[in-house]
A and B are shown apart, each in its own frame.
Chain A
């Protein structure tokens, strides 16, 4: 039943939050097999069904090959937490297997590069402004900027 879900999650997450996804390398992105996941819910014992009004929303996942575990209780509904937990597990797996090549690390590196570039350009702009001001005030005095 979750096959459809796992197929969906095997695709890289829609990194819609990030402006440019074209440069991200997904070639190493892991896939999640349901057979490799052990899923438990709190209060999972008993026959359940109509006889019980379960409200526990907590989902625990354990990735069997790596023993990585996820606990998720973000949402009110357990079914939503199942989806969320799998997303988190994929991210953790990506970081674990791929380290600096994980999507999260790549995005961070991109952001770093962007902010360094931004700072460099701002620094250049400041330099240019300064040298323009020095040219306009050869005496280095306190003349007003407007003539």
Chain B
């Protein structure tokens, strides 16, 4: 029977018998062989991934766990969880789905399978919108495609004068966004409606007469022919509806433009996060198709120096 034991399990067995507490395993021992397995599965940033998973298993904050993982131990349950999470990561499950939560600006959000995970560029987008609205008296905001609720909830968290209504096509994301609002104590100022935008039915029935001061959206903007380059974390585990922007990436944005014409107060603004070739195209579309209705005000760069954010005004 000993023939069938792998070298790693032999080492763990030895570690188990040599430890002070016979059932605890040092994290550094439990980790043996995994960095190589992760790299072989195509994961980069293996140290970061491992540290996140170790912190999660030990129920500790990331910045309280030493990089060396020294003097940390797993009990048998934790060890089992640890190995399960690492296997999942090797199967390219997103780290954020494995640990069940992720940070966004100053808040932490719950994550859920298939729901789109907020990207770091979007933090810059929200920072920009907050900067523009921090002195406003009261803001009645609409978010189109809220996903986990990251943008609305971080805005509500930072600016007490904002109330947000969101529409979201994914049932799972709708449920998650509502849950996150509750977890953050923001449910009094946030409501989410499960609805898919269509031509001539941009908003759900209950919101059809509503007008807003501000509309924000990070609509799907990936071009269909870019799908072949997506990593498994994205294409397998996230919902492609959250990404698919059609052939030029602006299919959904175009629906938002029409929605904005109907549901923005004059002088109200539409802020969008898009792909990095889109701002000039959007400016052209505004000039050609929306004269007298929508006006392109400005575009902005993200932290990676990519022109990605647009600011539009309802004339």
- The smallest beta-carbon distance between A78 and chain B, in angstroms, is 6
* Chain A CB within 8 A of B186 CB: no
Complex Cα spacing A76 to B103, Å: 8
Task: Give the CA-CA distance A48 to B127 in the complex, in Å.
Answer: 18
Q: Which A123-143 residues sit within 8 Å CB-CB of chain B?
A: none
Report the stretch among B68-76, B172-180, B224-232, B254-262 that lies at the interface: B224-232
- B264-295 interface bits toward A, Cβ cutoff 8 Å, 1 = contact, 0 = none: 00000000010110000000000000000000
* Complex: A4 Cα to B135 Cα, angstroms: 14
A54 to B95, Cβ gap below 8 A?
Answer: no
Does chain A have a CB within 8 A of B310?
no
Determine the main DSSP class of A at the interface with B.
loop
A-B contact count (CB 8 A): 89
B45 touching A52, Cβ below 8 Å: no
B124 within 8 A of A: yes
Q: Are A51 and B229 in contact (CB under 8 A)?
A: yes
Q: Which chain B residues (218-266) contact chain A, with CB distance < 8 Å?
A: 218, 220-222, 226, 229-231, 233-234, 238, 242-243
Set of chain A residues within 8 Å of B222, measured between Cβ atoms: 49-51
B304–chain A nearest beta-carbon distance, Å: 6
Q: How far is the CB of B62 from chain A (nearest CB, A)?
A: 4
Of B14-22, B27-35, B114-122, B187-195, the one contacting chain A is: B114-122
A80 CB to nearest B CB, Å: 8
Taking the closest CB of chain A, its distance from the CB of B82, in whole angstroms, is: 18
Please indicate the chain A residues that have their CB under 8 angstroms from the CB of B301 in the complex: 1
Question: Per DSSP, are chain B's interface residues mostly helix, strand or loop, or mixed?
Answer: mixed
Given A74-B63, A76-B52, is A49 in contact with B44 using a C-beta cutoff of 8 Å? no
Partner of B242, one of A1, A50, A54, A56: A50
| Chain A residues with CB below 8 A from B300, complex form | 1
- Taking a contact as CB atoms under 8 Å apart, the answer to whether B105 and A49 are in contact is no
In the bound complex, do residue A55 and residue B48 qualify as a contact, i.e. CB atoms below 8 Å apart? yes
Write the B26-53 contact mask toward A (1 if CB under 8 angstroms, else 0).
0000000000000000001100110010
Closest B-chain residue to A76, C-beta based? B62
Q: Is B11 in the interface zone, CB < 8 Å from A? A: no
Given A53-B117, A53-B234, A55-B49, check contact A41 B229 (CB 8 Å): no
Would you give 12 A-B contacts (Cβ < 8 Å), ordered by A? Answer: A41-B304, A49-B275, A50-B242, A51-B229, A53-B233, A54-B119, A54-B120, A55-B45, A55-B95, A56-B44, A57-B48, A77-B103
The chain A residues found within 8 Å of chain B, CB to CB, are 1, 4, 39, 41-44, 47-58, 73-80, 82
Closest 3 A/B residue pairs (Cβ): A76-B62, A77-B103, A53-B233
Chain B positions within 8 Å of A, measured between CB atoms, are 44-45, 48-49, 52, 62-63, 94-96, 103-105, 116-117, 119-121, 123-124, 127-128, 131, 218, 220-222, 226, 229-231, 233-234, 238, 242-243, 273, 275-276, 300-304, 306, 308
